[in-house]
């Protein structure tokens, strides 16, 4: 992972509008700015699997690119 790319700094579960669970992932960009990305249940589960995470706290430190990979695998 490059220091010149966004990284996951945290994540939490949230209730989705359709009754499913969503994963809210916080990203920190190289300049220090942070933003949140909301993932549907399928992509959230795929992200956790790709990162080898059994808990949302284990996503911190992974590249934002893992989100893109997770979306491709759904």
pTM for the complete prediction?
A: 0.88
**CA distances from residue 46 to 18, 66, 68 in whole angstroms, order as listed:** 19, 9, 10
Report percent pLDDT > 70 for the chain.
93
- Domains contained in the chain, number: 1
Which residues face 8 on adjacent strands? 27
**Region of 49 on the Ramachandran plot (φ > 0 left; ψ -120 to 50 alpha; else beta):** alpha
In a domain, 32, yes or no: yes
Residue 1 maps to a domain: no
Residue 3 confidence class, pLDDT cut points 50, 70, 90: low
Per-residue pLDDT at 37: 97
pLDDT confidence of residue 49: 97
**What are the φ and ψ backbone dihedral angles of 31, each rounded to 5 degrees?**
-80, -5
2 found inside a domain: no
Looking at per-residue pLDDT, the higher value among 72 and 32 belongs to 32
Using pLDDT thresholds of 50, 70 and 90, give the confidence band for residue 69.
Answer: very high
Host domain of residue 55: 7-72
């Amino acid at each position: 992972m490059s220091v010149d790319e966004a990284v996951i700094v945290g994540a939490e579960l949230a209730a989705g509008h359709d009754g499913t669970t969503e994963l809210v992932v916080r990203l920190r960009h190289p300049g220090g700015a942070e933003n949140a990305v909301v993932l549907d249940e399928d992509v959230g589960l795929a992200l956790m699997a790709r990162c080898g995470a059994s808990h949302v706290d284990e996503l911190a430190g992974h590249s934002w690119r893992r989100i893109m990979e997770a979306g491709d695998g759904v």
